[in-house]
A and B are shown apart, each in its own frame.
Chain A
Amino acid sequence: MKRKKDVQQGTLGLMVLKTLDVLGPLHGYGIARRIEQISGDLLFVNQGTLYPVLLRLEQEGAVESEWGPSENNRRARFYRLTKAGQKLLQAEKRDWERTAAIIARFFEVKAEDLS
């Protein structure tokens, strides 16, 4: 098995936002499982580190949270994307795509193109 990498804090926030965007309101455990699922078990999320990120996003106004009943009738805190969070997600997505495009162009460039 490949050794799992720890994920960066900044990108973790982005992943959380996208997850909430796609799946709608979710509790912390659910978000963690989902991210693990999507990254194909290539990323090891030290699950606990999710919570500081969630707090940060909430303080920035990108998500809202409230208590609610989860499956099995347990109580859990559910997180939901806000309008500001939507906008943030779009902006971050654009930034990433732009960065990726620039990097990709660099990798495609051959020696003759630079004369």
Chain B
Amino acid sequence: MKSLKRFYMRLLNFSTNRRGEERLREEMESYLAAQTEENIRAGMAPEEARRQARLKFGAVEAIREKYHAEEGLPFLEHLIQDVRYALRQLRKSPAFTTASLLTLALGIGATTAVFSAIDTVLFHPLPYRDPSQLMFVTESAPKLGGGEFGVSAQEYLDYARLNHVFSQVAAYMTDACNLTGAGRPLHVNEAQISTTALPLLGVTPILGRNFTAQEGRYGSDHVVLLSHELWQTHYGADPHIIGRTIHLNETPYTVVGVMPASFRFPGDSEPISERPSLWLPLTFAPDLIDPHHRVRSFGYKFIGRLKPGVTAPQAQQDMTRIADDFMRQYSDTYVGNIRVVPHAYPFAAHSVAKTRPLLILLAAAVFCVLLIACANVANLLLARSTARSQEMALRAAIGASRIRIVRQCLVESGLLGILGSIGGVLLAALFLIGLKRFGPASLPRLQDVSVHPVALVFAVALALLTSVFFGFAPAWQLSRVAPESSLRAAHQVGADHGSQHLQSIIAAAQVALAVALLISGGLLLRSFARLLDSSYGFNPHNAFIVRTVFDESRYPDIAKHLVVEQQILSRLSHLPGVTAVAEATHLPLSNSRDIGIHIEHAPANDYHWAGNSFVTPSYFRTMGIPLLQGRDFGPADTRSAPPVAIVSQSFAREYFPVHSAIGRHFDWGKGSNTIIGVAADVHISSLTDDPPPMVYLDTTYPDNHPNETAFILRSKLDPAVLLPAIRQQIHSVDKDLPVYDATTLEQLVSDSVAQRRFTIVLLGGFGVIALVLAAIGIFGVISYLVAQRTREFGVRMALGADRSNIARLVLRRGANIALAGCLCGLALSVLASHLLRASLYHTGPFDPATLCLVPLLLFIVVLIAAWLPALRAASIDPMQALRSE
């Protein structure tokens, strides 16, 4: 209790700033008076008496401090004193302070932002219950070629029924539909999900309820869940939306619930424009359950929640077992090339598979930046503390305890670290805002990214550690040395070699990191340029696209569809400024579809995938795709004529390598199709994937016609002018046709490389930051070198050295650092480019241009950075230098 009371008293004294000055003075006066009297009585002269009394009292300052130590909180007071002094010191050297603070803030801010983003995007991409337990299952058919295409309806039912590894499963399929009935028809993305989906994911609607089991049956499934966004924008967040009827493709549906804003299943990693706005119950029409149609239509995907204790490989094994079983059971259906292989992936990883390499690259880059920033601060602090060694020695000489000196240095560098960290936090928030605004749409949950505490703590800790260590270590060393030798050190002519060595090493390391970063960025840039330069297969300039849907309810048969299509094409072609018009159901770099074809005279059941699009005769001309052989579709190829097709170059090369493909046949749809032309290859899924074999069919083809389609116009007009005109023309033919997704071919190309572009921009930014920081580091080191060796240079000049000699000496030092750094950097970059190999397009890691340019650039920058100090060295007045001590 006593100590607590004392502490409380101390706190009170401290906060009210009460000082016992007054009291001590009075006590001292009365003591001196009494002692002086006694001395006089003992026989001393009055002055001597007073003096002796004073001596007997003791050292006044020391006693005053001890006195004060009893009444306040000395620790806190000293700390405040140190902080005030540190702030003053920092203010006195604005260049040093600004440089350090900026460096720290940049390093911490960038690192925190990137790591926060990575944490959310890579490790928590899904807002579901226990997302690590969710597996995603799809199938591929290796012999047919192509990629993964989901499962068929009956296969899903088998997997659901026969598996041992999932506690729940749910299937889904995405599609689009027209929302009609209120104003302009709205084209929305929808997803059909099993009634078990929401419970599986652990999500409940914020309004209303999930689908019931009854609603999962075909025919009773006209219910719908709305997305939060749709509910807000289209229905004004109407609280009575439950039970209302809305019309999808002219069919009435009842709204039974509204989903939370974060729910985007299954489009978690899709850009915003692809996310579903509605959810419908997934049901299987009777003809899909017909055993004869077992492999007719794939495209269903499903997810399963692992039972506790079951691992992903076990799930894969189970799926394979089920597939083997049903392929054996239905061996007459799974014949020839039609053998499916199931794949089970963790759902979370699947969502981010595309963006993982990008983010890891960014993480490595930003970590380099952080290291460079810390190195900069370290160097700055080292230089500074050595410059103040005299001051420290002086302090020790007049009585400062070692702890006091060291503590003061600690406070100073700690303060720097803390201020830098505050700046870093602000910058991190800023960077994240920028990231959310300009980041590529394909990063899942980018909008949910916020500053992550662990990343922040890590970056701040690293920065604080660096600043404290490099500010503290030299002080510690200094405080151990007896003051006299430090004070005498000023008479030395040479420099402190130990510290300089360390500084040079740190500067060289900075240069190395900057080189590695810049080379990586340069390689990616070259690769990107090559990608954009490569031929796409079509002409992307001045091409405009709009999409529409001929939904089945209003266009039940193809005749009406064709009539309207012809009218629209005709009207569009007559628009002023439009030079060509065409229609296609699937466009390159946009959407794609595969069909299974059988080449004539091939063994039975030898099917293969090929890309497919239904196009009008003017398509190839409008898109700028050259026809290499044969002819385009024409009016003769109407429904009554035998069906014809145009194939792509790679199709012809693969299936008809020896002779021309013209006149040959393949089976699809209702029968045989004749090949009448071969078109040049076009990149379909992305610019980096090889062009797939394509089959183009005329829009008059009598079978299996998709309802969604796109109109392509070639025109030099401004899209803002063109779009309303297009809309008007289309609506003049049919006012209920939705017109959506208006864009240009150039935009499609740009979107397909958006992620790459983003990577390069960021990496480039980091590279520039690294370069600037390295330059500042070199500047600091060389300046310090010049300052330390001023006397030496003075001596040299007095002994006959030329000014240019001195300058050269300094520059040579800078060049040595740069050389060492560049060599290490080159070695580092070889390592880095191995990691980058996957992202480099037709660019090897030893691209000569990049490997030569970057070190050259850095060399030049370093020389520039060393130039000013060299000049300063050369302009030293030898007399001044020799005289100054």
Query: Max chain B CB contacts within 10 Å: which of A51, A61, A77?
Result: A51
When the two chains form their complex, are residues B30 and A51 in contact, meaning their CB atoms are under 8 A apart? no
If A48-B57, A49-B63 touch, whether A28 touches B27 (CB-CB below 8 Å) is: yes
A54 to chain B, nearest CB (A): 8
User: How far, in whole Å, are A32 and B57 apart by their CA atoms in the complex?
Assistant: 10
If A60-B6, A61-B5 touch, whether A29 touches B67 (CB-CB below 8 Å) is: no
Residue A27 at the B interface, CB < 8 A?
A: yes
When the two chains form their complex, are residues B67 and A47 in contact, meaning their CB atoms are under 8 A apart? no
Residue B28 at the A interface, CB < 8 A?
A: yes
Chain B residues in 8 Å Cβ range of A72: 37
When the two chains form their complex, are residues A52 and B31 in contact, meaning their CB atoms are under 8 A apart? no
If A47-B58, A59-B9 touch, whether A75 touches B30 (CB-CB below 8 Å) is: yes
Chain B minimum-CB-distance residue to A36: B56
- Cross-interface CB contact of B30 among A27, A52, A59, cutoff 8 Å: A27
Q: How many residues on A have C-beta within 8 angstroms of the other chain's C-beta atoms?
A: 21
When the two chains form their complex, are residues A52 and B69 in contact, meaning their CB atoms are under 8 A apart? yes
When the two chains form their complex, are residues B27 and A77 in contact, meaning their CB atoms are under 8 A apart? yes
Chain B minimum-CB-distance residue to A84: B2
If A48-B59, A51-B24 touch, whether A28 touches B66 (CB-CB below 8 Å) is: no
Chain A minimum-CB-distance residue to B33: A74
Chain B residues in 8 Å Cβ range of A47: 31, 35, 56-58
Contact code string B49-88 (vs A, CB < 8 Å = 1, else 0): 0000000111110010011011100000000000000000
Residue B34 at the A interface, CB < 8 A?
A: yes
Residue A55 at the B interface, CB < 8 A?
A: yes
- Cross-interface CB contact of A59 among B23, B57, B59, B71, cutoff 8 Å: B71
Residue B324 at the A interface, CB < 8 A?
A: no
Residue B26 at the A interface, CB < 8 A?
A: yes
A49 to chain B, nearest CB (A): 6
Residue A35 at the B interface, CB < 8 A?
A: no
Chain A residues in 8 Å Cβ range of B67: 51-52, 55
Chain A minimum-CB-distance residue to B2: A60
When the two chains form their complex, are residues B66 and A59 in contact, meaning their CB atoms are under 8 A apart? no
Chain A residues in 8 Å Cβ range of B35: 29, 47
Residue A70 at the B interface, CB < 8 A?
A: yes
Chain B residues in 8 Å Cβ range of A61: 2, 5
User: How far, in whole Å, are A76 and B28 apart by their CA atoms in the complex?
Assistant: 10
Chain B residues in 8 Å Cβ range of A59: 6, 9, 70-71
Chain A minimum-CB-distance residue to B26: A77
Interface residues on B, range: 20 to 34
When the two chains form their complex, are residues A51 and B63 in contact, meaning their CB atoms are under 8 A apart? yes
When the two chains form their complex, are residues B59 and A55 in contact, meaning their CB atoms are under 8 A apart? no
Residue A11 at the B interface, CB < 8 A?
A: no
User: How far, in whole Å, are A29 and B35 apart by their CA atoms in the complex?
Assistant: 8
User: How far, in whole Å, are A16 and B59 apart by their CA atoms in the complex?
Assistant: 21
User: How far, in whole Å, are A30 and B35 apart by their CA atoms in the complex?
Assistant: 10
User: How far, in whole Å, are A70 and B805 apart by their CA atoms in the complex?
Assistant: 80
Residue A94 at the B interface, CB < 8 A?
A: no
Residue A56 at the B interface, CB < 8 A?
A: yes
When the two chains form their complex, are residues A52 and B63 in contact, meaning their CB atoms are under 8 A apart? yes
Residues 37 to 90 of chain A near chain B (Cβ within 8 Å): 46-49, 51-52, 55-56, 59-61, 70, 72, 74-77
User: How far, in whole Å, are A52 and B70 apart by their CA atoms in the complex?
Assistant: 6
Residue B20 at the A interface, CB < 8 A?
A: yes
Chain B residues in 8 Å Cβ range of A56: 70
When the two chains form their complex, are residues A48 and B28 in contact, meaning their CB atoms are under 8 A apart? yes
Chain B minimum-CB-distance residue to A27: B30
Chain A minimum-CB-distance residue to B62: A48
Contact code string B16-29 (vs A, CB < 8 Å = 1, else 0): 00001001101110
Query: Max chain B CB contacts within 10 Å: which of A29, A46, A61?
Result: A29
B128 to chain A, nearest CB (A): 62
Chain B residues in 8 Å Cβ range of A77: 23, 26-27, 30
User: How far, in whole Å, are A51 and B33 apart by their CA atoms in the complex?
Assistant: 16
Residues 6 to 35 of chain A near chain B (Cβ within 8 Å): 27-29, 32
B40 to chain A, nearest CB (A): 12
When the two chains form their complex, are residues B28 and A70 in contact, meaning their CB atoms are under 8 A apart? no
When the two chains form their complex, are residues A29 and B63 in contact, meaning their CB atoms are under 8 A apart? no
User: How far, in whole Å, are A77 and B23 apart by their CA atoms in the complex?
Assistant: 9
When the two chains form their complex, are residues A74 and B71 in contact, meaning their CB atoms are under 8 A apart? no
User: How far, in whole Å, are A66 and B56 apart by their CA atoms in the complex?
Assistant: 25
User: How far, in whole Å, are A29 and B39 apart by their CA atoms in the complex?
Assistant: 13
Chain B residues in 8 Å Cβ range of A74: 30, 33-34
A57 to chain B, nearest CB (A): 10
Chain B residues in 8 Å Cβ range of A28: 27, 30-31
Chain A residues in 8 Å Cβ range of B69: 52
- Cross-interface CB contact of A49 among B27, B28, B58, cutoff 8 Å: B58
When the two chains form their complex, are residues A70 and B30 in contact, meaning their CB atoms are under 8 A apart? yes
A64 to chain B, nearest CB (A): 14
User: How far, in whole Å, are A27 and B32 apart by their CA atoms in the complex?
Assistant: 13
User: How far, in whole Å, are A75 and B25 apart by their CA atoms in the complex?
Assistant: 13
User: How far, in whole Å, are A49 and B33 apart by their CA atoms in the complex?
Assistant: 17
User: How far, in whole Å, are A75 and B63 apart by their CA atoms in the complex?
Assistant: 22
Chain B residues in 8 Å Cβ range of A51: 24, 27-28, 63, 67
State the B residues within 8 Å of A (CB). 2, 5-6, 9, 20, 23-24, 26-28, 30-31, 33-35, 37, 56-60, 63, 66-67, 69-71
Chain A to chain B contacts (Cβ below 8 Å), 26 pairs? A28-B27, A29-B31, A29-B34, A29-B35, A46-B57, A46-B63, A47-B58, A48-B31, A48-B57, A48-B58, A48-B60, A49-B58, A49-B63, A51-B67, A52-B63, A52-B66, A52-B70, A55-B20, A55-B70, A55-B71, A59-B6, A60-B2, A61-B5, A74-B30, A76-B34, A77-B23
State the A residues within 8 Å of B (CB). 27-29, 32, 46-49, 51-52, 55-56, 59-61, 70, 72, 74-77
Given A46-B57, A48-B58, 8 other A-B contacts at CB below 8 A? A32-B31, A47-B57, A48-B57, A55-B20, A59-B71, A60-B5, A70-B34, A77-B30
**A-B CB proximity, top 7 nearest:** A48-B58, A48-B63, A46-B58, A29-B34, A52-B66, A76-B30, A52-B67
